[in-house]
Amino acid sequence: MSIKNEDSNHEKNEKDITILAIESSCDETAAAVVRNGREVLSNVISSQIALHTIYGGVVPEIASRKHVEKINGCVRAALKDANMKLEDIDAIAVTYGPGLVGALLVGVSEAKALSFVTGKPLVGVHHIEGHICANYIEDKELQPPFMCLVASGGHSHLVYVKDYGEYDIIGQTRDDAAGEAFDKVARAIGLGYPGGPKVDAAAKLGNPEAISFPRAKTTEKSYDFSFSGLKSAVLNYLNQAEMKGEEVNKNDVAASFQKAVVDVLTEHTMEAAKEYGCDKIAIAGGVASNSALRERLENECQSRGYTFFRPSPVLCTDNAAMIGSAGYYEYLKGARSGMDLNAVPNLPLGNRERRYHGRS
C-alpha cells in the first residue's frame, strides 16, 4: 500500500487505527497508545536513570530485571490513561532491535503474549525508525522526503527519509556514537551519568572557544561520523593538565567538546541536505535534545531557507509513543510479525548499514 499523506490514510482505512506500543530497548520501560500514527492518547515511561547512576552507566542485567518488574504496570497505565481496553486496540507494536538483547526480550515477550491472548496483529518496530517517527507526532504536517539526523547513545546516523518506512543511510558512526562520547567525556571530567544533559548544562557556563579540540573527517565526500578521536583528545588534554599540575576548568572542557560535536553533526547534515535537495531537516534521538545542537541547526536552517523539525525532549529520549507512530505506518504497509519474532540487538536500518558494527 502506498502511503502518501494523512488524508489518504483515513480514506483508505475508513476508521481510526489505534496502536498499543511497547519499548524496552535500554533503560526505559515504556508503553503508549497512539492513534493514526500522530495522536498520542497516552505515553507512560518508567525510567531507570537513578538506578544506573550509581554504576556510572547502564548495567544490562539490572536493566532487564527492572523491565520485568515494570512492563505489566506500564501497559496497564497506558491503557488506563488512554481510557481504553485491550479489545479496543487494533494492533500491538514493539521494539525488537537494536538495543540490549535482554532488555529487548522483555518487551518482545510482553507484546507476543498480548498478541497471542487477544488475537491482535503484532508489528515489530526498528528502534531508530521509532526515533525518526517521533517527528510525525510533534509536527502533524511533516511528510517525507526529508533529511534526519539521528544522534543517541548508541547511534549517529544521517538518514534520507524517502517515504514512510523507506530509509537510505547516507552516514553513520565508524566508532563512538555522539551520545556515547558525551557519556565518556562527562565521566572523565567528573560530571557523572547521564552524560548528555550534564555536559549540556556545564557547557552553558563555559567558553566553547577555550580549547581547540579536533573535528574528525573520515574520507572526502563521506557523511560518516567519528568521535573516538575527539574523545581521546579530551582525555589527553585532561591527562596532560594533571601531569603538569594545572587546574582544569570543567565547564570550558564541556563547552569546547560539545562545540566540536555540534560542528560535525551540523556540517554533515547541511552538506547532505544540499546534495539531496532537501529543504526539510529533522533530528531524532537522545542527543537531539541537546540545546546547542538544536540552536545551531535551527540557525543554519533559517539561513538557508530550510524548515527545521525537532521533537520535544520527552520524544527525543526513549519512549513508546514513537514506536506507536512507526508501528502505525508499518501496519498500513501490511507488515505483520509472527510468534517467532525475536530480539535483534544489531538490527540494521535501511539498505546501506555497513561493516562498522559487525556487518559486511
Express each pLDDT in 342-355 by its tens digit: 999 999 887 544 33
Low-confidence ranges of the chain (pLDDT < 70): 1-14, 218-221, 351-360
Is the distance from CB of 264 to CB of 228 less than 8 angstroms?
no
What pTM did the predictor assign?
Answer: 0.90
Q: How far apart are CA 122 and CA 116, in angstroms?
A: 9
Separation of alpha carbons 226 and 259, rounded Å: 15
Question: What pLDDT is recorded for position 7?
Answer: 40
- The reported pLDDT for the residue numbered 76 is 98
CA distances from 286 to 87, 152, 207, 255, 311 (A): 33, 5, 24, 18, 10
Burial class, 77, CB count within 10 angstroms (exposed 0-12 / middle 13-18 / buried 19+) = middle
The pLDDT, as a whole number, for residue 349 is 83
Cell of 226: 567519528
Buried-state track 291-305, b at ≥16 Cβ within 10 A, e below 16: ebbbebbeebbeeee
pLDDT (0 to 100) of residue 13: 53
142-157 exposure pattern, b = at least 16 Cβ within 10 A, e = fewer? bbbebbbbbbbbbbbb
Give the count of beta carbons closer than 10 Å to the beta carbon of residue 12: 11
pLDDT at 360: 35
Grid cell 508499518 — which residue?
330
